[in-house]
Each structure stands twice: as structure tokens, then as C-alpha cells.
Homo-oligomer: A and B are copies of this chain.
Amino acid sequence: MSSERIALAVDLGGTNLRTGAVTRNGDVICSRRAPTPAREPWERTVDVIAEHVASLRSEIAQSGIEIAGIGIGAPGPLDVRTGIVFSSPNFPLWFNVPLASAVGERTGLPVRVENDADAAALAEARWGSGAGVTDFIYLTIGTGLGSSLIINGRAWHGVSGIAAEAGHITIEAQGRLCGCGNTGCWESYVSGWAIVQRTKELLSDTGRSPQWSRGALEPHIVADAALAGDTLAQRVYQETGRYLGIGIASLVNLLNPGLIVIGGGVSAAGHLLLDPARDELHRRAFSTQAQAVRIERAALKEPGLIGAAAIVYSDL
């Protein structure tokens, strides 16, 4: 054990910043948490990370454990090769931030930064539903629709070092306007945002106002209503699941994956979402490819911190 080299991991969220030491088995042996100074200049965030790292190092110094490096899971878009975060809606003052080099200079450790969807996918590849699978597609349905393509055990970054953006493939060329400026993106139909939007539209169209719809609408509230038998809520998940399947069918025809792992908070709706998605997949994709793919829920409920550690281990 004393010769084990382990990863320090930084889960950089818009609200909280968590830092931890994570073993090769995915066990968090110690961690720190602080509010993210998201609305301050980026140097403040680097300060917090450097303080956490110093504190964790002194805690584990006695054990003789060596540190292999620091992995940071950050909201994108970012360039993994340079470790520069271009910008992020949660960090209004951030613009072309040299996050990896700044943290590296402060800590003297090698640093790698990945998009948080890629970090979560690497964690699934190592410790979750993708364990033992070299190639799979990871989708994370939260407020938006994030994704990662794991090819030969690594996250695919393309020529610009950018994460896969499956949420922004076009599935309805003349469809809904997306936040990215395109029309008809998959994310405009499959995301927490889209579920709330579709619910509001159906409520307005039908003139209904059931009890569950009267507070702030959240995807899980609609899911609970669907499970309790509300037909409008069921229709929301049915339609969202169908659109999930439309995009999955495109990915299946294009990439012929053996596995698609679906994580993110909205995926907790489980069969409400996945049953219509599977139906639509088999309606739309070539049968050989459709039969070859398993669609599974992510095994890791909170992949943030261990995802950041998986970035480091994927390099060792």
C-alpha cells in the first residue's frame, strides 16, 4: 500500500467545489468541500483548490502514499489538451482560463482537466456500468443533455480537444430553438429543461392545473405524477423518451456501440424514459445495430469527485 500512487480529484461545480484523495478502487479516503467562488475572478477558485490540495497532502503525508496527479472535472467548453476553460455559464467572469497550468504552478503536480460529462464517463468506464467495456457512449440528462464518447478506454476529444456534444446533433431541422443558437437540437427535446417546457405546454394546451403542477415544476415532480398515474405527466415522459430514442438510433446507426450508459438526475425516471426510448430505437435503427446495443442506467449516482480521479487514472 505504501507504494500506491493515488489521484487527487477536484469536482468543480457551479455551487460547490469538492476536492478529495481517491484510490484506484474509487474509494474517497479524505475530502474537502467549499462553496465555489463562481462569481469572482478565476484566481480565487485556484486559491481554494490549492488550499484544499495542501491540506489533503498534509493529511495523507504520514501514510507514505504518493500522489500521481490532479484531475479536475469542470463545466465546459474547455480544451483538454491545454487545460484551458473557454467559458461557462456558471462562471460569468471566466474567459479562456488556464486552469490546468495555474493549478499545476501552485501545487507542483501534473494536472489534467476534463469536461464533467467526460469525467463521469471515465468513472463509469472504471468503476461503473462501463467497467470492462472499451467503447461506449455516455449520456447525462440533467438540466441539459451532456455526453461522452469512450473509445479505446479514452474520452474522444476531436481535433480541438473538445468533448463530444451529442446534445447538439439536429433531430428536427426545423424544430425548437436551442440555447446554442441552432434549431432542433436533441437537447431541446431531451433534458430537464425540455421536460419542464413540454409539461407547461401540455398543461396550457389542455387547460389542466393538477395539484402537482402548481409549485415550481421540476422533472422529478412530473416523474412522480406520472408514476402516480397522471396521464399528462405520463405523456411528457413518453414523448421525451421517444425523442431520447430518436437520437440514440442516430448514434447507433453511426457508431454501432455495444453499450450506452445513461446518467444524470433526469435518468432517475428509469423505465418512464427508457421504455419508450428502446421502442423508438428498434423502430428507427438497423436491426443488427439495435440488437447489439445495451442501454443501461449509470451505476454511479454522484460521479463528480471520482470522475475527476478517473481522469488521472486513465493516464496511468
Copies of chain A in the complex: 2
Q: Tell me if A1 is interfacial: C-beta within 8 Å of chain B.
A: no
Q: Tell me if A166 is interfacial: C-beta within 8 Å of chain B.
A: yes
Q: Is the CB of A159 within 8 A of B243?
A: no
10 A-B pairs within 8 Å (CB atoms) are namely A158-B289, A159-B256, A165-B286, A168-B286, A170-B171, A170-B284, A171-B171, A172-B172, A182-B283, A182-B285
On A, residues with C-beta under 8 Å from B are 77, 86, 135, 149, 151, 156-160, 162, 164-166, 168-175, 180-183, 243, 246-247, 249-250, 253-258, 283-286, 288-289, 292-293
CA gap between A256 and B293 in the complex, in Å: 24
Q: Is the CB of B77 within 8 A of A286?
A: yes
Q: Is the CB of A258 within 8 A of B180?
A: no
Given A169-B169, A254-B166, decide whether A180 and B135 contact each other with a Cβ distance below 8 A: no
Q: Is the CB of B288 within 8 A of A86?
A: yes
CA gap between A216 and B168 in the complex, in Å: 39
Other-chain residue from B151, B160, B166, B257 in contact with A288 (beta carbon distance below 8 A): B160
Contacts of A151 in B (CB 8 A): 151
The residue in A86, A172, A174 that gathers the most chain B C-beta atoms within 10 A of its C-beta is: A172
16 more CB-based (< 8 A) A-B contacts, given A160-B292, A182-B284: A77-B288, A135-B158, A156-B255, A158-B255, A158-B256, A158-B258, A158-B292, A159-B256, A159-B257, A159-B258, A162-B288, A166-B253, A168-B250, A168-B254, A173-B243, A181-B284
Other-chain residue from B164, B173, B285 in contact with A172 (beta carbon distance below 8 A): B173
Q: Is the CB of A169 within 8 A of B257?
A: no
Q: Is the CB of B289 within 8 A of A160?
A: yes
Q: Is the CB of A253 within 8 A of B169?
A: yes
- In whole Å, how far is A167's beta carbon from the nearest beta carbon of chain B? 8
CA gap between A183 and B175 in the complex, in Å: 15
The residue in A166, A180, A284, A285 that gathers the most chain B C-beta atoms within 10 A of its C-beta is: A284
Q: Is the CB of A182 within 8 A of B249?
A: yes
CA gap between A108 and B149 in the complex, in Å: 40
Q: Is the CB of B180 within 8 A of A159?
A: no
Contacts of A289 in B (CB 8 A): 158, 160, 162, 165
CA gap between A250 and B182 in the complex, in Å: 10
